[in-house]
A = this chain, B = another copy of it.
Amino acid sequence: MHYKEVIQSIKERREILKVTQEALAELSGVGLRTLKQFESGKGNPTLHTLQKLADVLGMEVCVQVKNIIRNK
């Protein structure tokens, strides 16, 4: 996942859950300004920030070896 895909996955998930940026900021403890910047494609969030957002959205950050073949 590249940078923009990471952004997209968070943003899409937030929208699916019908949570506003403001609510997500509140719930996650991330500053609203930070979230806005992030979702508008600016900046370079820290792992901690990413995890706080992911947690609230029922998501998780992972680092894994590529080309994992999953038996579908």
Contact = CB atoms under 8 A, between A and B. Distances in A.
Interface of A: 1-3, 6, 9-10, 13, 44-48, 50-51, 54, 57-67, 70-72
A6 to B, nearest CB: 5
Contacts of A3: 47-48, 51
Residue from A13, A44, A51, A60 with most neighbouring chain B CB atoms (10 Å)? A60
A48 B44 contact: yes
A66 B61 contact: no
B63 A54 contact: yes
A29 to B, nearest CB: 14
A64 B62 contact: yes
Contact of A65 (B6, B50, B59, B71): B59
